[in-house]
Chains A and B, each alone.
Chain A
Amino acid sequence: MDWITIISTTIKAAVGVETVLYAIGAIGLNVHFGYTGLLNFGQAAFMGVAGYGLAVTVTVMGLPFWVGIFVGLVAAVILAILLGIPTLKLRADYLAIVTIAAAEIVRLIFRSVQFKSVFGGSDGQRGFSDGFYALNPYPEGEYGFNLGPVPLLFGHRTMWVLTVGWILIALFSFVVYLLMKSPWGRVLKAIREDEDAVRSLGKSVFSYKMQALVLGGVIGCFGGFIYGLGYASVQPDVFGTETTFYMYTMLILGGAARVLGPVLGSMIFWVLLVLFYNVMTEAVGAGLITFLDTNQVGAMRWILVGLGLILLLIFRPQGILGDKREIAIDARR
């Protein structure tokens, strides 16, 4: 078994592109679910409309990169408002069902043959990231260092995505930290704890929830940009409901309603998953495990995710960093 590769990919997974984009999505989700108690099961759709907004603006309409980013952001805001109007006045489980339905609608439209000329069908869109890589300050080459015999190197393109990604994570974490310390953030937390009490104090619960939904959606949509730029393509099925569920797993693993919870959660999630997958595939390849094939190993990781989510919520719903008194999941309405 090739332990050097296993160790190298596992350590790189702690800061890799997937970790970054899921962490950003989960930070947005933290604003929804962790702080405001909104059960948004459609976070993947926010990432989707942003990624596609960028891709379609650049490839189909031929406009510059920055216009694409702007279109993606506007799309995320519009989606948040469209989702919020019918559902924010309803009970939590209605919001869950409607957001998951809306995310499916978005995905089905993206992958439809009908709109293939715009969204590219199930193949998605590619070739829109040149504007981003033109800004790359890193000259061509490999960056990183060798940890003993283990090489930890990223290409210059990945380096640029990661740099931008981690700056965004730091920025969003700081914004969330400041906002949640502010009076505005305290109202959000109060809504999570007892909506009626907040209403009785004369606050417009609907408007606060809407602001939280838009903010979390806009933060999350940067995860979609990072996906599109990091992989230089967007495909509809990447933005399916399972993506949202993985973000929930990360958020709860790291600790909901904690500034760094989603970031830590995403890092641990991907490190564990990559480690497990690599060790198992290597073991299957080396003939040490004969009762599974490599495809089944792929399925095994998601079984572990499901099991992890169940066990976390039962035994440690506050995750690693969280405070049990401060999470929305024990709300009984």
Chain B
Amino acid sequence: MEGHNPALTYFEGAPLRRAVIAFTAFLGGLIFLLAGPAHAGPAECQGLRGTLKLQGQPVNGAKIAVTTEGGQPVKEVTTNAEGTWDVQVDKPGKYKVTLDVSSLPQNAEVRGGNNVRTPTVYEGNCSTVLYALQAKGAANQQQQEGGESSPFWTQAAQLTFEGLNLGLIIALAALGLSLIYGTTGLTNFAHGELVTLGAILAYAFNIGFGLHLIPAAVIAVIVAGILGYLQDRLFWGQLRRRGTGTIAMMIISIGVALFLRYVFLIFFGGQTEAFAQYTAQPGIEIGPISAAPKNFVAMGIELVVLIVVGFALLRTRTGKAARAVADNPALAASSGINVDRVIRIIWTFGGAIAALAGIMLGLSQNLKYTMGQDILLLIFAGVTLGGLGTAFGALVGSLVVGLFIQVSTLWVPPELKSVGALAVLIIVLLVRPQGILGRRERIG
């Protein structure tokens, strides 16, 4: 695609050495900023958990024994006042969970009568073990009630919800990546690190400076926006001005990604962390969906941000200019658009919304220095699926990816859910290489 050549509009100048020094200095500042937070204990989850409830009331003091597949005892626990129990295990694999029926309240029994479960624990994941309890003798009544919505559809609804949640987060990150690609031709492999950066900045303000998460998140997004601006001003912009090819820039972005990732590792550590607020919220149930309230709020915020950005792209002067540059930088420049300025605005907003995506991801999962790297390929999948360089394509593609990943766990084991999404990406490229909303053009 010959169109992606904004370097046409630049002139030689500004020694790059300065840019590199400035970039390093900016990272140095970042390091300083991150040096604050103290490390809390690891919050990694790998094991089994569950909640026992009888007619909506938590069951306290029920005994649950966890053994390995071969019968080696792992741990015995009793449920707490909220009816929950939790067993962490060292190794992924199959486990046997036995609920001691005699420890249940007098009037309770396990629906179906089977008190043994054999769940599988996946690496870095907590599996929920379900025991449906009922009052003794209520079996017939329960069955009639349950007939309306089968567990399959309840689960499907729940997974659709979770898929939307993930899809919106991916969409936030993908939008910036796609616009940056469209305007500068840069396939930015360091975009995942911008996502991590947002989460870690928010963590630094939240834990390090003791701010409540909401102001901390706002500041983190603003700081990330400024850093995004500086990144283009001092680094990528200088490279473009120098006439660096897009493939060289792609490999440079890999260097940037490695660099940032391990800077995060040094200052954040290798463990997983959580924000100070909203970590363990009790779930609420809306119809077949149960989720913590924070997820609903997060999705609301994500939706609003995406709509505002979409509106800005469609209606404002800058937004129109941005789409024009993404479409054809040379033509946009010759019609009087300041391409440089547009690209900087896109980097600023791209950095800011990527940071927001990181914070939301940290809120719904946990924080880790590889969290951005882990979803980078999903972001790419969303962007490619929607059509490289198209802003709204990135939105649609990301939602499809998010939904696909979660809903596919109905049939696919959770550890392989990303495999399905990436395989679909490859298949789509075979059938419709320009993506869902991409324009047909020669991309060979």
Which residues on A are within 8 Å of B, measured CB to CB? 39, 85-87, 89-94, 96-98, 100-102, 104-105, 108-109, 111-114, 116, 121-122, 242, 245, 248-249, 252, 292, 295-296, 299-300, 302-303, 305-311, 313-314, 317, 328-333
Contact = CB atoms under 8 A, between A and B. Distances in A.
B251 A309 contact: yes
Contacts of B251: 248, 252, 309, 313, 329
A113 B248 contact: no
Contacts of B381: 101
Nearest to B120: A113
Contacts of A303: 258-259, 262-263, 266
B444 A89 contact: yes
B16 A314 contact: yes
B5 interface: yes
A105 B247 contact: no
B413 interface: yes
A91 B254 contact: no
A150 B140 CA distance: 82
A100 B377 contact: yes
Given A89-B444, A101-B380, A309-B254, A330 B265 contact: no
A18 B252 CA distance: 24
Contacts of B259: 303, 306-307, 310
A203 B375 CA distance: 40
B123 A330 contact: no
Nearest to B7: A332
Query: Which residue among B4, B252, B413 has the maximum number of chain A CB atoms within 10 Å of its CB?
Result: B252
B258 A121 contact: no
Interface stretch (B298-306, B328-336, B415-423): B415-423
Main SS at interface, chain A: helix
Query: What is the interface residue range for chain B against chain A?
Result: 35 or more
18 contacts: A86-B429, A90-B443, A93-B388, A101-B426, A105-B423, A121-B93, A122-B123, A248-B251, A296-B266, A303-B258, A305-B258, A308-B255, A310-B252, A313-B252, A314-B20, A329-B245, A330-B248, A331-B246
A116 B250 contact: no
A93 B444 CA distance: 11
B1 A91 contact: yes
A114 B415 contact: yes
B250 A96 contact: yes
B156 interface: no
B122 interface: yes
B288 interface: no
B151 interface: no
Given A100-B377, A310-B255, A112 B413 contact: yes
A94 B429 contact: yes
Contacts of B4: 332-333
A113 B418 contact: no
Interface string B21-64: 00000000000000000000000000000000000000000000
A332 B444 contact: no
Given A101-B425, A331-B246, A333-B246, 4 more contacts: A108-B415, A112-B416, A245-B254, A303-B262
A311 B261 CA distance: 17
Contacts of A311: 20
Contacts of A313: 244, 248, 251-252, 255
A116 B122 CA distance: 11
Contacts of A87: 429
B289 interface: no
Nearest to A122: B123
A272 to B, nearest CB: 15
Contact of B419 (A86, A91, A94, A105): A105
A109 B419 contact: yes
Nearest to B123: A122
Contact of B246 (A112, A121, A332): A332
Contact of B187 (A97, A102, A307, A328): A97
Contacts of A108: 415-416, 418-419
A113 B118 CA distance: 14
A257 to B, nearest CB: 14
Nearest to A82: B426
Interface in B408-444: 413, 415-416, 418-419, 422-423, 425-427, 429-430, 433, 443-444
A98 B429 CA distance: 9
